[in-house]
């Protein structure tokens, strides 16, 4: 159980890195005052931890509550739930605890289209990496 959680956190951090490379640092920005070897590994791990906790606790509840919309849209509404989870993660790291406590800032610019691209990429890359890890 604990190893699965660690693997999920590591995969979330890795997918965040790839999404930032694809989208670009001007729209998908992760800043940290704490660097290891001039990289933001600590920031990616912290954001991956929070993303894993949110996806483990809140996302199933939202998916269950929005089940009628998911059926009506043939599953397309799950994309909006993923976008909302990404927004919550950004809000937590921008407004609540990260700039003052951890020195991490997580900003997504560009409106809903950037959230759509980022959440789709995160879901796709997480699925691929989980498939590779299981084999």
Residues 36/44, Cβ–Cβ less than 8 Å:
no
Q: Rounded distance, CA 34 to CA 76, Å?
A: 38
Mean pLDDT of 70-79: 92
Q: What count of other Cβ atoms lies within 10 Å of the Cβ of residue 105? A: 16
pTM of the full predicted structure? 0.83
Q: Indicate the average pLDDT of the chain.
A: 85
120 Cβ neighbours under 8 A, 6+ residues apart: 79, 82
What phi, psi does 24 have (nearest 5°)? 110, 150
SS3 of residue 105 by DSSP: strand
Looking at per-residue pLDDT, the higher value among 91 and 5 belongs to 91
Q: Rounded distance, CA 102 to CA 15, Å?
A: 21
For 110, which DSSP code? Answer: S
Instruction: Tell me which of 51-55, 81-85, 95-99, 106-110 is least confident.
Output: 95-99
Model pLDDT for residues 19-59, shown as the tens digit of each residue: 988 888 788 887 777 666 556 788 888 888 888 888 889 99
Model pLDDT for residues 39-50, shown as the tens digit of each residue: 678 888 888 888
């Amino acid at each position: 159980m604990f190893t699965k959680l660690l693997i999920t956190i590591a995969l979330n951090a890795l997918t965040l890195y790839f999404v930032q490379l694809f989208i670009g640092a001007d729209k998908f920005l992760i800043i940290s005052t704490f660097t290891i070897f001039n990289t933001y590994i600590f920031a990616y791990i912290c954001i991956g931890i929070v993303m894993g906790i949110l996806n483990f606790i809140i996302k199933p509840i939202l998916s269950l509550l929005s089940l009628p919309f998911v059926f009506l849209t043939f599953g397309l509404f799950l994309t909006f739930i993923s976008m909302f989870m990404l927004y919550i993660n950004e809000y937590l790291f921008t407004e609540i605890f990260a700039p003052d406590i951890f020195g991490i800032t997580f900003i997504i610019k560009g409106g809903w289209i950037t959230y759509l691209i980022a959440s789709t990429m995160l879901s796709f890359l997480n699925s691929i990496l989980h498939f590779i890890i299981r084999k």
